[in-house]
Chains A and B, each alone.
Chain A
Amino acid sequence: MNDSKRLIIKDLKKEFNGFWALKGLNLELSPGEIFVLLGPNGAGKTTTLKLITGLLHPTQGEIFIEGINIKESPIKAKSLIGYVPDEPFIYPKLTGREFINLVASIYRVKKADYEKRSKELFEKFDIGEWIDELSEGYSHGMKQRIIMCQLLLHNPVLILIDEPLVGLDPKTARTVRETFLSLKDQKKTLFISTHTLSFAREVATRLGIINHGELKFTGTLEELAEISGRKNIEEIYLKLTEE
């Protein structure tokens, strides 16, 4: 086992009623890396993220987070993860603040850390007084901002995000980009699944392209450009995902 790796995925497979959503994924991520997974709809991106977070059970394969096998020690492994699903959900009858308090409590964030970090994050994501209103009235963007706050409040080392920019206004999208880059500098590892190619180009230290449940290629943008013979990220993506 390579202890310096933050995330190790070995021969990960997932079957849904005879359909193989993931066909043997192998991947290793290091601290300070932003890995962006690209692929068409139904390629297996969300399934991969859900398997890492424990929302799905693998049909085969193993996942290690900081050397901890998620199947053997799920609670220990999950305390190191921060996850944002593709459809952010906040309990409709809770306010944004109540939801954040709930998440921080589940992750057992210390009160002093909570006070400090929540203040910073509320400022960073431009959280207004609406945080004390019921979330059932929030827009998609408001929910995304609350979800980003809860994600970073417990200071995870491995951050998994499914479609981070959906519903965000340009200003918040820029904040998210800057936040991700600063997290990389803090040696956090980010695993992002997205369709937004420009975002991938701006933040990724390494890209992965998945199609039909198979990781077709991984590498830097330059490496992928070399393999595909294309320079533009859109052209690289289309070339590498074509049938």
Chain B
Amino acid sequence: MSEFLLLLNARIISFKSSVKSLNLIRILSFILVFGVFLGGAYYFFFRIFNYLLSVEIIGPVLMNKIIQMVFFIFFIMLLLSNIITSLSTFYNSRELQLLFALPIRPGAIYLAKLFENCVYASWATLIIILPLIFSYGITLRAPFQYYPLAIFSVIIYLIIPGTIATSLIFIIRCLLPKLRSRDVIFILFGLILGLTFFYIRINNPDLLKVFATENQRDLLMFAENLTTVGGIYLPSTWVGYILGTLSQGSARFHFYFLLLLSVTSTFVIIAFYLARFFYTRSWMLVGEYQSRMKKIHSVLYHYYGDAKTFLLKDILVFVREPIQWVQLGIFFILLIIYIFSLRRTPIYFTIPLWRTVVSFANFAYICFILATLGVRFIFPSISLEQYGIWLLRSSPISFARIIKIKYLFNLFVTIILIEGLLFFSNILIKTDPKFYIMLPIAAVLVAASLVSINLGWGAHYPQFNEDNPSRIAAGTGGIIAALVSIGYVGITIVILAIPAYNYLSNTYLKKPLSYPLIILSLAGFLLFNIFTIAGPLYLGIKSFQRRDI
């Protein structure tokens, strides 16, 4: 235990040093951005809960189900993210060579690394959960003790996916050390997603159906049946019960809290003993197999002598890093599922007005997805130059040119993605023809701004000592880039909603068109985008050029 505390202390000292190195302006901007995000998210959840509370019969039931559902989804997401971060934390981290050479027990190394991994994989989730907890508590007028106990329970809950993910990885890497990281990710992702699907199917088949009824009894039964979202044996359900019972001041809270605490402790103990048996062995085996190299003849085998080489380098580094494209692949699969789920929209929304509203909501959703993709894949691109930045900085290539190459390539990919998603989704929704034309034009500006925000902020806040893109994106700079991107999308939707509403009122409710308002909104949108495209790139380039390497 003392060894674990020693390693933990080293982490805390290192964290304190990095906080101390921040200047006042940076600290204030963090507080401002986080404050705005937490406030906005709180308001969003508060409105939803308040609305649900006012809906008779089904409202309060749905409120609890939403909480359980959210924690169930977070559980699966955390399992997946823990798998990805574990591979670098437990196998690729440079300090492992030193740690394993020191007289420290592998169990202590495991616990210290588990702590690090849980923090990296979960803290972004915690940031989203906090406003959820507060809005839920305030809506239900929960007693004071609800807040600290709810947060503590959630923190305990976040440890479970970390223990499961690491244990699975140790066993697979020990049994099949020849497998490359990408194969391990594939196997575990397939296993987890497959089991999740079957678990839901067996436990609650209603969840996979679209419910349509106006009968109150059916509605209540449907809501009650959703009790088993994820099932009563899952920690996500217990967290939901903990929040529910705590908010009512019910003594049943103790049962669920102790159940969660004991199960988390059991998972940590099992993972600890598995790590003692498997971790060192698997780390050595993986190291042995990795040192057996293979010859590669890629597109960059040939000499081109122009800027194309730099672009090819970026593509090759991306393709050869399994963490990158596996996550991109998951995003794609989820997007394809989403697009296909839209095919029923014309059946449910027979009135053209509602189809048009859905198409606008779909545009907003796609923009939010792209904001997330931007933070995960574009924001880390400067940091991923790592110490290779010495080469770029000392060579006759300007940083503005490097940014330009990265910007144009990312913009090209983002435009293809956003236009593709809009094209297919609008076909399935059977969108109003004018929206067919307007939304893709707006999407180009959205893509240009999101790429600029993420690239510019990535240059402003690089982390050259980190080689894991997930961690770079989950770092402070990444979180702020995410919040700024989400803020940008929010403002975009608000601005575009004005002409959209005006148009819909005219077309379907026969209200007069206000051309000055439409022109003003579109001009405002254009000006806003000029600022969001040029501003972040300019600031990023200037900030990077001023930086000492």
Chain A contact residues, CB within 8 Å of chain B:
50, 53-57, 74-76, 78-79, 81, 83, 85, 87, 89-95, 97-98, 101-111, 114-115, 118, 129-130, 132-134, 136-137
Q: Distance (Å) between the CB of A93 and the closest chain B CB?
A: 4
Top 6 closest pairs, chain A to chain B, by CB: A105-B309, A79-B396, A89-B387, A133-B293, A53-B394, A98-B300
Partner of B296, one of A101, A108, A132: A132
Q: Distance (Å) between the CB of A213 and the closest chain B CB?
A: 16
Given the interface pairs A94-B317, A106-B310, A137-B293, the reply to whether A89 lies near B386 with Cβ below 8 Å is: yes
B546 to chain A: which residues have CB within 8 Å? 57
A57 to B307, CA, bound (A): 26
B103 to chain A: which residues have CB within 8 Å? none
Among B297, B305, B309, B321, residue most surrounded by chain A Cβ atoms (within 10 Å): B305
Pair B394/A94 contact, Cβ less than 8 Å: no
Pair B316/A94 contact, Cβ less than 8 Å: yes
Pair B549/A107 contact, Cβ less than 8 Å: no
- In the complex, B209 has a CB within 8 A of chain A: no
Besides the contacts A55-B394, A75-B398, A98-B298, what 7 more A-B pairs have beta carbons closer than 8 Å? A89-B388, A93-B320, A97-B300, A101-B301, A105-B303, A106-B396, A137-B291
Closest to A114 in B: B303
A111 to chain B: which residues have CB within 8 Å? 303, 305
- In the complex, B266 has a CB within 8 A of chain A: no
- In the complex, B304 has a CB within 8 A of chain A: yes
Closest to B290 in A: A137
Q: Distance (Å) between the CB of B521 and the closest chain A CB?
A: 43
A136 to B341, CA, bound (A): 43
Partner of B309, one of A101, A118, A137: A101
- In the complex, B390 has a CB within 8 A of chain A: yes
A92 to B290, CA, bound (A): 13
Given the interface pairs A89-B388, A98-B313, the reply to whether A133 lies near B549 with Cβ below 8 Å is: no
A105 to B393, CA, bound (A): 15
B398 to chain A: which residues have CB within 8 Å? 74-75
A85 to B397, CA, bound (A): 18
Given the interface pairs A94-B317, A105-B305, A106-B396, the reply to whether A130 lies near B293 with Cβ below 8 Å is: yes
Partner of B394, one of A57, A81, A102: A81
Partner of A101, one of B290, B300, B396, B397: B300
Pair B305/A91 contact, Cβ less than 8 Å: no
A98 to chain B: which residues have CB within 8 Å? 298, 300-301, 313, 316
A55 to chain B: which residues have CB within 8 Å? 390, 393-394, 548-549
A134 to B300, CA, bound (A): 12
Partner of B301, one of A90, A115, A132, A133: A132
Among A85, A101, A114, A129, residue most surrounded by chain B Cβ atoms (within 10 Å): A101
Pair B393/A54 contact, Cβ less than 8 Å: yes
A74 to chain B: which residues have CB within 8 Å? 398
- In the complex, B217 has a CB within 8 A of chain A: no
A54 to chain B: which residues have CB within 8 Å? 393-394
Q: Distance (Å) between the CB of A111 and the closest chain B CB?
A: 6
CB under 8 Å from chain A, chain B span 304-335: 304-310, 313, 316-317, 320-321
Pair A133/B296 contact, Cβ less than 8 Å: yes
Pair A134/B296 contact, Cβ less than 8 Å: yes
Pair B391/A103 contact, Cβ less than 8 Å: yes
A92 to B321, CA, bound (A): 10
- In the complex, B215 has a CB within 8 A of chain A: no
Chain B contact residues, CB within 8 Å of chain A:
290-291, 293-298, 300-310, 313, 316-317, 320-321, 386-388, 390-398, 467, 546, 548-549
Pair B303/A104 contact, Cβ less than 8 Å: yes
Given the interface pairs A93-B316, A111-B303, A114-B303, the reply to whether A78 lies near B296 with Cβ below 8 Å is: no
A111 to B306, CA, bound (A): 10
A189 to B139, CA, bound (A): 73
B392 to chain A: which residues have CB within 8 Å? 106
Closest to A85 in B: B390
Closest to A132 in B: B295
A97 to chain B: which residues have CB within 8 Å? 300-301
A97 to B298, CA, bound (A): 10
A137 to chain B: which residues have CB within 8 Å? 290-291, 293
B303 to chain A: which residues have CB within 8 Å? 101, 104-105, 111, 114-115, 118
Closest to A97 in B: B301
A78 to B296, CA, bound (A): 31
A106 to chain B: which residues have CB within 8 Å? 309-310, 391-392, 395-397
A56 to chain B: which residues have CB within 8 Å? 548-549
The 23 sampled A-B contact pairs (Cβ below 8 Å) are A50-B549, A54-B393, A55-B549, A76-B396, A79-B396, A83-B390, A89-B387, A89-B390, A91-B388, A94-B313, A95-B298, A95-B300, A103-B395, A105-B306, A105-B307, A106-B391, A108-B396, A110-B305, A118-B303, A132-B295, A133-B296, A134-B293, A134-B296
Closest to B547 in A: A57
Among B297, B386, B396, B548, residue most surrounded by chain A Cβ atoms (within 10 Å): B396
Pair B394/A78 contact, Cβ less than 8 Å: yes
Closest to A110 in B: B305
A132 to chain B: which residues have CB within 8 Å? 295-297, 301
Q: Distance (Å) between the CB of B191 and the closest chain A CB?
A: 27
B290 to chain A: which residues have CB within 8 Å? 136-137
Pair A105/B301 contact, Cβ less than 8 Å: no
Q: Distance (Å) between the CB of A102 and the closest chain B CB?
A: 5
Given the interface pairs A93-B320, A132-B297, A137-B293, the reply to whether A87 lies near B396 with Cβ below 8 Å is: no
Given the interface pairs A55-B548, A108-B305, the reply to whether A83 lies near B300 with Cβ below 8 Å is: no
Q: Distance (Å) between the CB of B291 and the closest chain A CB?
A: 6
Among B309, B387, B391, B548, residue most surrounded by chain A Cβ atoms (within 10 Å): B391
Partner of B391, one of A75, A89, A129, A130: A89
Q: Distance (Å) between the CB of A86 and the closest chain B CB?
A: 10
A94 to B315, CA, bound (A): 11
Pair B397/A94 contact, Cβ less than 8 Å: no
A132 to B295, CA, bound (A): 5
A129 to B290, CA, bound (A): 18
Q: Distance (Å) between the CB of B390 and the closest chain A CB?
A: 5
B300 to chain A: which residues have CB within 8 Å? 94-95, 97-98, 101-102
A83 to B392, CA, bound (A): 11
Pair A91/B291 contact, Cβ less than 8 Å: no
A57 to chain B: which residues have CB within 8 Å? 546, 548
A114 to chain B: which residues have CB within 8 Å? 303, 305
Q: Distance (Å) between the CB of B462 and the closest chain A CB?
A: 14
Q: Distance (Å) between the CB of B339 and the closest chain A CB?
A: 32
Partner of A78, one of B305, B313, B396: B396
A95 to B301, CA, bound (A): 9
Given the interface pairs A75-B398, A98-B316, the reply to whether A133 lies near B386 with Cβ below 8 Å is: no
